[in-house]
Chains A and B, each alone.
Chain A
Amino acid sequence: SQKIEQNSEALNIQEGKTATLTCNYTNYSPAYLQWYRQDPGRGPVFLLLIRENEKEKRKERLKVTFDTTLKQSLFHITASQPADSATYLCALDTGTASKLTFGTGTRLQVTL
């Protein structure tokens, strides 16, 4: 069966450290993988998209990697800040009708 797995346990890190979140999937062949941020009680906000033929994508303090052999994406936030505390969702896009299939999300807590 198809599955998208993100670490269901919250990730707690200290300010200034690098946060690394994992997204693993099975029985999918995504053309694209997207990462979103969601704050409590709000809609998700798009952060980054990476294509199947790209290994890495960066945007400011954010970096995403995509390994289609391992069926895994890693999402990194460098020099993390308390304002980065949120739930981060990965989403697979198989390229059909721009439909996305979301993981359950990982809650990140950055402390001083």
Chain B
Amino acid sequence: DGGITQSPKYLFRKEGQNVTLSCEQNLNHDAMYWYRQDPGQGLRLIYYSQIVNDFQKGDIAEGYSVSREKKESFPLTVTSAQKNPTAFYLCASTTQRGAGNEQFFGPGTRLTVL
């Protein structure tokens, strides 16, 4: 089955720790995205990547870092510099063929800072 997976589903972090959220897709999509969703809020873009070894900051990149060493993988690190990391994190991917393409989302990772 083609799809996009995220792990873990739930993650607990102590203050001051860095944590890495995994995102893998086997859809052969070029573009991948990380969003953050807070209760009652829409999705806000953290980082995105249109091609391997290249990525750009989204609207709320401070305190986060990413890498794109493989087409299938786009991990997100939440660093200790992120002041309010507790949120629901969503990874998405899309083909870059043409324009106006739908995004496919993973199941999400819920991060809680203790």
Given contacts A4-B42, A44-B43, A104-B41, contact A98 B106 (CB under 8 A): no
Shortest Cβ distance from B18 into chain A, in angstroms?
Answer: 24
With A98-B101, A104-B41 already in contact, the answer to whether A43 and B90 are too (CB < 8 A) is yes
Does A70 reach chain B (CB closer than 8 Å)? no
A25 in contact (CB, < 8 A) = no
Complex: chain A residue closest to B96, CB-CB: A98
List A76-112 residues whose CB lies under 8 Å from chain B.
Answer: 89, 93, 95, 97-105
The tally of residues in A whose CB lies under 8 Å from a CB in B reads: 25
Cβ of B63 < 8 Å from any Cβ of A? no
Chain A contacts for B110, CB-based, 8 A: 41
Report if A99-B102 is in contact (Cβ < 8 Å); known contacts: A4-B42, A42-B107, A44-B90: no
Complex: A14 Cα to B94 Cα, angstroms? 36
The main secondary structure of chain B at its interface with chain A is strand
B90: A residues at CB distance < 8 A: 43-44
- Closest A residue to B44 using CB positions: A102
Interface 1/0 per residue, A43-61 and B, CB below 8 Å: 1111001010000000000
CB distance B48 to A104 under 8 Å? Answer: no
Which chain A residue shows the least CB distance to B101?
A: A98
State how many angstroms separate the Cβ of A29 from the closest Cβ of chain B. 14
Given A89-B43, A104-B42 in contact, is the A98-B103 Cβ separation under 8 Å? yes
Give B65-109 interface residues, CB cut-off 8 Å to A. Answer: 88, 90, 92, 94, 96, 99-108
With a cutoff of 8 Å between Cβ atoms, the chain B residues found around residue A100 in the complex are 43, 45, 103
Question: Is B21 engaged at the interface, CB distance under 8 Å to the other chain?
Answer: no
Is there contact, CB below 8 Å, between A49 and B106?
no
Is B22 engaged at the interface, CB distance under 8 Å to the other chain?
no
Find out whether the CB atom of B107 lies under 8 angstroms from the CB atom of A31: no
Q: Which residue of A is nearest B9, CB measured? A: A41
Please, how many angstroms separate the alpha-carbon atoms of A42 and B106 in the complex?
8
A contact residues vs B (CB 8 Å cutoff): 4, 8, 31-32, 34, 41-46, 49, 51, 89, 93, 95, 97-105
